[in-house]
Amino acid sequence: MTRLLLVGPPGAGKGTQAAILSDTLGIPAISTGDIFRTNVANETPLGIKVKAIMAKGEYVPDDLTNEIVAHRLSEPDAAEGFLLDGYPRTIEQVNELDRSLGKDGHALDVVVLLEADIEDVVARLMKRAIEQGRVDDTEEIIRHRMSVYTEQTAPLIKLFDERNLVVRVDALGAVDNVTDRIVSALAGRGLASA
């Protein structure tokens, strides 16, 4: 049973690695970005609320974000562990996740920090802009997303470090190599024998 977070700047490969690790570890990958994008595409009431915020590269308010994650984590497939991609990203979200896991006597097991230079990940996202056309993948918005990450999410790493949860992984290089690094780092903690 593994409760894992993937953290890192936009473009670090959270979504890419989450999909692979979800298969390897047999736990669901939960991406708040994907959940929001699906709601935007389907023009749900939530999607209508968050569309403009996401297009600007700002964070969705904590109350909305906490609510969708609480709902998703209450589904049966998450009872045996999960992999969170892109949540929590603010201190309020960390506090809420702690509270909701704590109710059942649970807590996070590990935080995988995907480390990369900003210019490398900007280049990746500029490439994805051409391939996928995500609305928040223009250079200006990508750089804004990087600053939002630096201001609001990067400081949380210290808190996870104080809990001795963080494993640091170089996010550059081939996708398979990054996966191998993550799996070895997890194995080093007695988690996730693939």
89 binds ligand AP5 (CB under 6 A): yes
- Is 28:44 a contact under the CB 8 Å cutoff? no
| Crossing angle for the helix pair 32-41 and 62-73, to the nearest 10 degrees | 100
Instruction: Kindly state the smallest distance separating residue 101's Cβ from ligand AP5, in Å.
Output: 16
5 binds ligand AP5 (CB under 6 A): no
Tally of CB atoms within 10 A around 100: 15
- Is 53:60 a contact under the CB 8 Å cutoff? yes
Q: Which does 175 bind (CB under 5 to 8 A by kind): ligand AP5, Mg ion, none?
A: ligand AP5
Instruction: Kindly state the smallest distance separating residue 67's Cβ from ligand AP5, in Å.
Output: 11
DSSP string, 45-71: HHHHHHHHHHHHTPPPPHHHHHHHHHH
Q: Which does 145 bind (CB under 5 to 8 A by kind): Mg ion, ligand AP5, none?
A: ligand AP5
Q: Give the SS3 label for residue 172.
A: coil
> Residues binding ligand AP5: what is the number (CB under 6 A)?
31
Which residue ranges make up the site for ligand AP5 (CB under 6 A)?
A: 8, 10-16, 32-33, 36, 53-54, 57-60, 65, 86-87, 89, 93, 124-125, 128, 136, 145, 173-175, 178
